[in-house]
């Protein structure tokens, strides 16, 4: 089928985890005849949740794509994750959408996840439709959810459809524009009969129709005048103003239904194809010329210069890497070359692919609004702009959400550490919400992500895609050791006499503490000829090795100065080795006399929480030996700035979630080192000695 940009609707389904986005998308695929049966998340037969990790947990982990035809239009479905652990993916994939359906559960109402994804839709200025799902469930309450959405998002939530009955009695919808009722068979077929509005609903329907018209005429000044003068508006006029209002975002229409029973879905599809903008209705995409600040506009026309944004990468063990992009202007053909404006590189590719759940459909070309994939691009990563080399443009992509939870990753099979690192690096191309580091001091591989499930699912995927088995361990806190007082004239003699040549070296040191975070300093202050200068590098080497592991708990020693001012040597028995050993032993002796202490890393945190839980969060920080440095307000949230010992916040993401009901977020970065309080230091030292 020829895909014209005017006929495309790129729609992202967003909402809190478990609100029924995937089931809704499955019903659209079925009603649009893209699939022959209604896929189910619970039975594991969904076309969109097809990864084993998703089937096991019954949640969407990675955004899936599919398309359905409806009334000569093509709906491109972008089915995004709602679970907090995977929202980075949702945020990236919204860059491909032109409109959003926000799915809210009729029983649970607006939850944290709903607020977060609504914020992402705001960032991209996307028009949206609210769909209140699961109207058949116990305690389903359409009007309560409607009121909550209007309050939380400060919008004119405008019902276009009202439910007929609720809970077990839910049987269909009333259309407030056409003033008809649609009554459904509850067999999942999506079939319904059009009838008159039930008599007992007439007053309610008239009241809400009046509210709808009041909201809708805001979008059109001529109609507003007509309405205020008391003239009757025709259904066509109302419909036109409604469509205008949705596309400009003035009106947020509300529909309802039940995805698993396929009720209210065809009305939602009507609303999508009539109300949400096609790629050609959107404003031109604005970027800059590479290496310049000069803004460039790209009109969504097939004749213009080609440009597209890469918003997702999928690591496929068979097809290699799949790069998903949304075309904003121009046309691209299979088997051609594109220019990557971020890397300044040309990329050759073969087939263009249309994503259909886990399958791909080859296509010859793609134009404005198309969402297509290309396999095996070498240089290109998520967030890059692909364009024509003759007229390049650079689009700014969104940033991943900062990771909040870290674990050390250990290989189950000894010796496969390098494979763990390279395979994880491939998964990070697919999921920019992950971060991978190698801790220099503990040589641990540290994996950071959005939460426990995020990291566990990543490890499962690692095993399935690359056959690498790993275990997660708590990250080791990088403690350090140092000294508090200076010691003078520390002398150590190393002497060994075995048959033949012996070993002899004597060194004299002054050792003193330095300022925090200033590192190690070595001063060679020899006078006279007691120690040949050729042994000085060996002394320094011995000191460097001794600094690797302190005498308290084996942590690296920092922030001290060693002054090497004298010593003794022997013509035959002195060697580099002997001086290296003497230097190392002398430093250990000096540290013992210089009041050694343990240092711990302190992190700087910014914690964003709703006002009502601020007291609880601050109380919790005090219990973690934290210092609150200040606060500022941001909308209905407060930002708390604090310094806290790293050891106290290794699992902070999990604790903050439980204190704030998932509504708190935070960032943290290393600040400095401080002395560990004595009673805690004793515990850490005891634990380290037990291990050794």
DSSP reduced 3-state for 149: helix
Give CA–CA dist 684/208, Å, rounded: 66
Give CA–CA dist 432/455, Å, rounded: 13
3-state helix, strand, coil in the chain (%, to 5): 30, 30, 35
Give CA–CA dist 368/285, Å, rounded: 11
Of 664, 666, 516, 519, nearest to 601 (Cα)? 516
CATH label of the domain that carries residue 620: 3.30.70.240
Check residue 502 and give its pLDDT. Answer: 85
First to last CA, the chain: 69
* % of the chain exceeding 70 in pLDDT: 98
Check residue 499 and give its pLDDT. Answer: 67
Check residue 402 and give its pLDDT. Answer: 84
Residues 14 and 157 grouped into a single domain: yes
Residues 122 and 182 grouped into a single domain: yes
Write out pLDDT tens, residues 16-33.
Answer: 988 999 999 999 999 998
Residues 155 and 295 grouped into a single domain: no
Helical H segments across 548-677, by residue range: 576-593, 614-623, 652-660
* Alpha-carbon 193 to chain mean position: 44
- Is 378 contained in some domain? yes
CATH label of the domain that carries residue 33: 3.40.50.300
Give CA–CA dist 535/579, Å, rounded: 7
Write out pLDDT tens, residues 451-504.
Answer: 888 998 899 888 888 888 999 988 888 899 999 999 999 999 999 877 667 899
Token pair of 671 as six digits: 């600040």
Residues 304 and 337 grouped into a single domain: yes
Residues 523 and 469 grouped into a single domain: no
Give CA–CA dist 351/334, Å, rounded: 5
Give CA–CA dist 92/88, Å, rounded: 6
Answer with the one of 359, 387, 415 that is the final residue of a domain: 387
- Is 395 contained in some domain? no
Q: For residues 271 and 159, is the Cβ–Cβ distance under 8 A? A: no
Give CA–CA dist 431/433, Å, rounded: 5
Q: 317 falls in which pLDDT band (50, 70, 90)?
A: low
- Is 399 contained in some domain? no
- Is 232 contained in some domain? yes
Residues 618 and 586 grouped into a single domain: no
- Is 58 contained in some domain? yes
DSSP reduced 3-state for 54: helix
Query: What sign has the CA pseudo-torsion 93, 95, 96, 100?
Result: positive
Check residue 46 and give its pLDDT. Answer: 80
Token pair of 426 as six digits: 């491939």
Give CA–CA dist 522/539, Å, rounded: 10
* Mean per-residue pLDDT, 368-396: 92
- In terms of residue numbers, what domain contains 554? 481-594
Write out pLDDT tens, residues 543-602.
Answer: 999 999 999 999 999 999 999 999 999 988 899 999 999 999 999 999 999 999 999 999
Q: For residues 427 and 315, is the Cβ–Cβ distance under 8 A? A: yes
Residue 522, sorted as left (phi over 0), alpha (psi -120 to 50) or beta, turns out to be beta
DSSP reduced 3-state for 287: strand
Give the Cα-Cα-Cα angle 304, 305, 311 (nearest 5 degrees): 110
Give CA–CA dist 457/484, Å, rounded: 46
Q: For residues 631 and 641, is the Cβ–Cβ distance under 8 A? A: yes
CA-based radius of gyration for the chain: 33
Query: What sign has the CA pseudo-torsion 388, 391, 392, 395?
Result: negative
DSSP reduced 3-state for 248: helix
Helices and strands in the chain, H and E counts: 16, 36
More confident residue, 510 or 235: 510
- Sole residue written with tokens 């001063």: 523
- Is 237 contained in some domain? yes
Of 32, 44, 40, nearest to 68 (Cα)? 32
Query: What sign has the CA pseudo-torsion 615, 621, 626, 630?
Result: negative
Give CA–CA dist 509/513, Å, rounded: 13
Write out pLDDT tens, residues 623-671.
Answer: 999 999 999 987 778 899 999 999 999 889 889 988 988 888 888 888 9
Burial class (CB in 10 A: 0-12, 13-18, 19+), 279: buried
Give CA–CA dist 459/447, Å, rounded: 10
Residue positions counted in the chain: 692
Token pair of 39 as six digits: 């896929």
Residues 100 and 224 grouped into a single domain: yes
Q: For residues 606 and 652, is the Cβ–Cβ distance under 8 A? A: no
Residues 51 and 162 grouped into a single domain: yes
Of 433, 380, 369, nearest to 95 (Cα)? 369
Write out pLDDT tens, residues 100-140.
Answer: 999 999 998 888 788 889 999 999 999 999 999 999 999 99
Check residue 475 and give its pLDDT. Answer: 86
Write out pLDDT tens, residues 325-350.
Answer: 999 999 999 999 999 999 999 999 98
Token pair of 600 as six digits: 């711990």
- Is 393 contained in some domain? no
- Is 636 contained in some domain? yes
Local structure of residue 188 (DSSP, 8 states) = S
Lowest-confidence segment of 191-195, 402-406, 564-568 by average pLDDT:
402-406
Of 666, 315, 321, nearest to 458 (Cα)? 315
Token pair of 6 as six digits: 């005017």
Q: For residues 371 and 314, is the Cβ–Cβ distance under 8 A? A: no
Residues 151 and 271 grouped into a single domain: yes
pLDDT > 80? residue 385: yes
Check residue 633 and give its pLDDT. Answer: 87
Q: How many domains does the chain have?
A: 5
Write out pLDDT tens, residues 286-314.
Answer: 999 988 888 999 999 999 999 999 999 98
Give the Cα-Cα-Cα angle 558, 561, 563 (nearest 5 degrees): 150
E strand or H helix at 504: strand 503-513
Q: 689 falls in which pLDDT band (50, 70, 90)?
A: confident
Give CA–CA dist 308/388, Å, rounded: 10
Q: For residues 352 and 364, is the Cβ–Cβ distance under 8 A? A: yes
Residues 314 and 353 grouped into a single domain: yes
Give CA–CA dist 276/247, Å, rounded: 6
Local structure of residue 481 (DSSP, 8 states) = E
Residues 520 and 468 grouped into a single domain: no
Phi, psi dihedrals of residue 372, rounded to the nearest 5°: -130, 165
Answer with the one of 225, 253, 281 that is the final residue of a domain: 281
Phi, psi dihedrals of residue 428, rounded to the nearest 5°: -70, -30
Check residue 1 and give its pLDDT. Answer: 46
Give CA–CA dist 491/495, Å, rounded: 13
Residues 128 and 29 grouped into a single domain: yes
Residues 6+ apart with CB under 8 A from 302: 5, 330, 331, 367, 368
User: How crowded is residue 107: how many other Cβ atoms within 10 Å of its Cβ?
Assistant: 18
Q: For residues 13 and 78, is the Cβ–Cβ distance under 8 A? A: yes
Give CA–CA dist 562/577, Å, rounded: 19
User: How crowded is residue 381: how many other Cβ atoms within 10 Å of its Cβ?
Assistant: 17
CATH label of the domain that carries residue 421: 3.30.70.870
Answer with the one of 546, 561, 594 that is the final residue of a domain: 594
Of 114, 111, 163, 166, nearest to 137 (Cα)? 166
User: How crowded is residue 438: how many other Cβ atoms within 10 Å of its Cβ?
Assistant: 11
CATH label of the domain that carries residue 528: 3.30.230.10
């Amino acid at each position: 089928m020829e895909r014209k940009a005017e006929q495309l609707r790129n729609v992202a389904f967003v909402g809190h985890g478990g609100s029924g986005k995937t089931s809704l998308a499955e019903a659209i695929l079925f009603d649009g005849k893209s699939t022959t049966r209604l896929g189910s998340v619970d039975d594991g037969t969904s076309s969109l949740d097809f990864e084993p990790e998703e089937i096991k947990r019954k949640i969407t982990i990675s955004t899936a794509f599919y398309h359905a035809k409806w009334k000569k239009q093509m709906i491109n479905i972008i089915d995004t994750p709602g679970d907090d652990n995977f929202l980075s993916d949702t945020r990236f994939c919204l860059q491909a959408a032109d409109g959003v359906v926000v799915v809210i559960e009729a029983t649970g109402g607006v939850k944290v996840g709903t607020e977060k994804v609504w914020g992402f839709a705001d960032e991209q200025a996307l028009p949206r439709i609210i769909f209140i799902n699961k109207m058949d469930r116990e305690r389903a309450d359409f009007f309560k959810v409607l009121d909550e959405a209007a309050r939380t998002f400060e919008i004119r939530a405008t019902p276009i459809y009202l439910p007929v009955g609720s809970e077990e009695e839910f049987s269909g919808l009333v259309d407030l524009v056409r003033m008809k009722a649609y009554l459904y068979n509850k067999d999942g077929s999506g079939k319904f009969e059009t009838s008159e509005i039930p008599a007992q609903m007439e007053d309610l329907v008239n009241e809400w129709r009046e509210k709808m018209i009041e909201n809708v005429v805001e979008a059109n000044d001529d109609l507003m005048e007509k309405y205020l003068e008391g003239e009757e508006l025709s259904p066509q006029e109302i419909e036109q103003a409604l469509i205008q209002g949705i596309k400009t975002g003035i009106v947020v229409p509300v529909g309802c239904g039940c995805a698993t029973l396929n009720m209210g879905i065809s009305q939602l599809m009507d609303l999508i194809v009539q109300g949400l903008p096609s790629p050609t209705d959107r404003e031109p995409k604005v970027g800059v010329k590479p290496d310049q600040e000069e803004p460039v506009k790209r009109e969504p026309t097939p004749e213009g210069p080609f440009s597209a944004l890469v918003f997702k990468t999928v690591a496929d063990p068979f097809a290699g890497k799949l790069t998903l992009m949304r075309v904003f202007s121009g046309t691209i053909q299979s088997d051609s070359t594109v220019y990557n404006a971020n890397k300044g590189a040309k990329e050759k590719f073969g087939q263009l692919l249309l994503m259909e759940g886990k399958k791909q459909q080859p296509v010859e070309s793609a134009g404005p609004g198309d969402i297509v994939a290309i396999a095996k691009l070498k240089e290109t990563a998520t967030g890059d702009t692909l364009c024509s080399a003759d007229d390049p443009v650079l689009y700014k992509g969104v940033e991943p959400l900062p990771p909040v939870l870290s674990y050390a990753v250990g290989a189950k099979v000894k010796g496969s550490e390098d494979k763990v690192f390279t395979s994880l690096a491939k998964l990070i191309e697919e999921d920019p919400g992950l971060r991978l580091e190698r801790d220099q001091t503990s040589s641990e591989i540290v994996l950071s992500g959005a939460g426990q499930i995020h990291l566990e699912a990543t490890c499962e995927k690692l095993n399935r895609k690359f056959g690498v088995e790993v275990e997660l361990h708590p990250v080791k806190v990088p403690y350090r050791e140092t000294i508090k007082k200076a010691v003078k004239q520390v002398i150590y003699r190393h002497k060994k006499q075995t048959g033949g040549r012996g070993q002899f070296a004597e060194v004299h040191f002054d050792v003193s503490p330095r300022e925090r975070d200033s590192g190690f300093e070595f001063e060679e202050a020899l006078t006279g000829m007691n120690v040949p200068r050729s042994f000085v590098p060996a002394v320094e080497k011995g000191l460097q090795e001794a600094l690797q592991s302190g005498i308290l708990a084996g942590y690296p020693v920092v922030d001290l100065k060693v002054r090497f001012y004298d010593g003794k040597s022997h013509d035959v028995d002195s060697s580099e080795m002997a001086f290296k050993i003497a230097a190392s032993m002398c430093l250990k002796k000096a540290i013992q006399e210089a009041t050694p202490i343990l240092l711990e890393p302190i992190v700087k945190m910014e914690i964003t929480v709703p006002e009502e839980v601020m007291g609880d969060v601050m109380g919790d920080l005090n219990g973690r030996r934290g210092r609150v440095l200040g606060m500022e307000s941001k909308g209905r949230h407060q930002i708390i700035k604090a310094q806290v010992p790293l050891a106290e916040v290794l699992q902070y993401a999990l604790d903050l979630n439980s204190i704030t009901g998932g509504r708190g977020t935070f960032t943290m970065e290393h600040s400095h080192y401080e002395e560990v309080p004595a009673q805690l230091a004793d515990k850490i030292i005891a634990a380290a000695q037990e291990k050794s």
